[in-house]
């Protein structure tokens, strides 16, 4: 496995690739969710293809300085895991090697990012789109793999690829969960023991709402109230950042469950912000 830190090194390493790579962009602090992405990348690439992983905590997508400062970093363990999983190349750039000091170009998506995390983390998706476009330009992958835990991000990156004609196929991987249902997330390690106990309440409440839909419930407002009630009982310390039922394609709020939709949630436990979602697709 090759580890490269700079763009010149990356461009040199790329010359040795027999095929265009399959890219897995991450911010490091790898866990089983990331490993599922890497497995998917290997499936796509095949045994002789090239799988590359980027580990980069992208400062320009953070709207909160202390969130950036406290973002977990486990570089040695990440590199060992990538090696074990048969990754061909890991890219761990310094911020200065990716961003010019006087940079003045930003990629902005203006529709799918208007709600949910886009509304509560201003500028976040401009940062995501910009760094992902850079990674696409640097690696020229044929495929790239993202997780459905970040549902809105996956939708926005698919739109970025469509609207800017990146010749790349975007693959989504189902959310990997702890045995108690909590979505794996690098930020989970920052939960206090008490908040870690409460956090599975998020997915439990989402599932309960999804079950109601299976039984015929069609009013998003009823479902959202049910989730809020459940959360207040199972996770009393959770502070909602948003909770919405949105059209799965447009990510705009809906009044009736009459098409593929997603319930998306973000909640704070102390200063740790977790996101999760559930797709309500089985009926449509
Ligand atoms: N539990 C998970 N299941 C599947 N994919 C995941 C999971 N967690 C993260 N991913 C995906 O891994 C990629 C990198 O995400 P990232 O490095 O931000 O990890 P993270 O665990 O989402 O961290 P955090 O949410 O704390 O920022 C993204 O495509 C993300 O959707
Ligand atoms: C896609 C990504 C690596 C861009 O920094 C990040 O938003 C993430 O880890 O989901
Ligand atoms: N997983 C999305 C990256 C972020 O929270 O900034």
Q: What is the pLDDT of residues 195-206, one digit of tens each?
A: 999 999 999 999
Question: Nearest C-alpha to atom 29 of ligand 1 is from which residue?
Answer: 146
**Rounded to whole angstroms, what are the CA distances from 99 to 4, 9, 136?**
17, 16, 15
Closest CA to 274 of 180, 175, 156, 149: 149
Domain 186-280 fold? 3.30.1300
Write out the binding residues for beta-alanine.
Answer: 61
Domain span(s) for CATH 3.40.50.620 in the chain: 2-173
User: In the predicted model, what is the mean pLDDT of residues 258-272?
Assistant: 96
- Specify the pLDDT at position 281: 73
Domain span(s) for CATH 3.30.1300.10 in the chain: 186-280
The reply to whether ligand 2 has any atom less than 6 angstroms from the CB of 150 is: yes
Q: How far apart are CA 118 and CA 107, in angstroms?
A: 14
Architecture of domain 2-173: 3-Layer(aba) Sandwich (3.40)
Residue 210's CB is within 10 A of a number of other CB atoms, namely 17
CA–centroid distance, 224 to ligand 2, in Å, is 28
Write out the binding residues for ATP.
Answer: 27-34, 147-150, 176, 184-187
CA–centroid distance, 102 to ligand 2, in Å, is 23
Contacts of 70 (CB under 8 A, 6+ apart): 190, 271
Q: Identify whether the C-beta of residue 195 lies closer than 8 Å to the C-beta of residue 267.
A: no
pTM of the entire predicted model: 0.97
pLDDT at 82 over 90: yes
pLDDT at 283 over 70: no
The reply to whether ligand 2 has any atom less than 6 angstroms from the CB of 26 is: yes
Which numbered ligand comes closest to the C-alpha of 58? 2
């Amino acid at each position: 496995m090759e580890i490269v830190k700079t763009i010149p090194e990356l461009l040199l390493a790329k010359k040795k690739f027999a095929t265009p790579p399959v890219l897995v962009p991450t911010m490091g602090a790898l866990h089983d969710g990331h490993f599922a992405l890497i497995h998917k990348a290997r499936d796509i690439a095949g045994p002789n293809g090239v799988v590359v992983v980027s580990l980069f905590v992208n400062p320009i997508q953070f709207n909160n300085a202390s969130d950036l400062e406290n973002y977990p970093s486990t570089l040695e363990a990440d590199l060992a895991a990538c090696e074990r999983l048969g990754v061909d190349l890991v890219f761990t750039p310094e911020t200065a090697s990716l961003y010019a000091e006087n940079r003045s170009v930003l990629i902005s998506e203006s529709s799918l990012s208007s709600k949910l995390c886009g509304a509560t983390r201003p500028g976040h998706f401009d940062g995501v789109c910009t760094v992902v476009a850079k990674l696409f330009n640097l690696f020229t992958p044929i495929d790239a793999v993202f997780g459905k835990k970040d549902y809105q991000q996956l939708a926005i990156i698919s739109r970025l690829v469509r609207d800017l004609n990146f010749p790349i196929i975007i693959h989504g991987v189902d959310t990997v969960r702890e045995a108690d249902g909590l979505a794996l997330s690098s930020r989970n390690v920052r939960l206090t023991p008490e908040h870690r106990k409460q956090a599975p309440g998020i997915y439990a409440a989402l599932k309960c709402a999804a079950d109601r839909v299976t039984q015929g419930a069609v009013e998003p407002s009823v479902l959202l109230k049910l989730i809020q009630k459940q959360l207040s009982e199972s996770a009393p310390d959770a502070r909602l950042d948003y909770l919405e039922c949105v059209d799965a394609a447009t990510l705009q709020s809906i009044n009736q469950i009459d098409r593929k939709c997603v319930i998306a949630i973000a909640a704070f436990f102390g200063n740790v912000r977790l996101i999760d979602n559930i797709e309500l697709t089985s009926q449509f």
